[in-house]
Amino acid sequence: MTVTSRAVLHVHPGRRDEFLAVAGALAAAAAEEDRTLRYDWYASVDDGDVFVAIEEYVDGAAALAHNEHCQALLDRIPQVADMTAVDLYGDLGPQLEQWVAEHPFAHEHQPLRW
């Protein structure tokens, strides 16, 4: 089952250009990953310093592999923006479930089983 993530980031004052450079580098890195199905950034129409990233991976292991592959870039995000919300959808697996448990702004959504 795929894992999808929707993250909301608020850029720090005066750091928009730096944020856009990091976001662009993340998108380029994700494009090289075979198990990353989608990695899109969106800008808020109402607030030029609010961005949303929507990511989709073939499974939880692929999401973790992306984080490993992009760790240096991901480490730069807190310098330029605050991640204020993350919603993760799918069967996450223990490592992603632990990450959600450690971050109060993150929420896990499990699929309904009919």
Residue 94 — left, alpha, or beta (φ > 0 → left; ψ -120 to 50 → alpha)?
A: alpha
pLDDT of residue 112: 95
Quick: pLDDT tens for 34-59.
999 999 999 999 999 999 999 999 99
Across the range 70-95, mean pLDDT stands at: 97
Q: If one looks up domain 11-82+91-109 in CATH, what number appears?
A: 3.30.70.100
Nearest to 23 by CA among 44, 4, 39: 39
pTM, entire model: 0.94
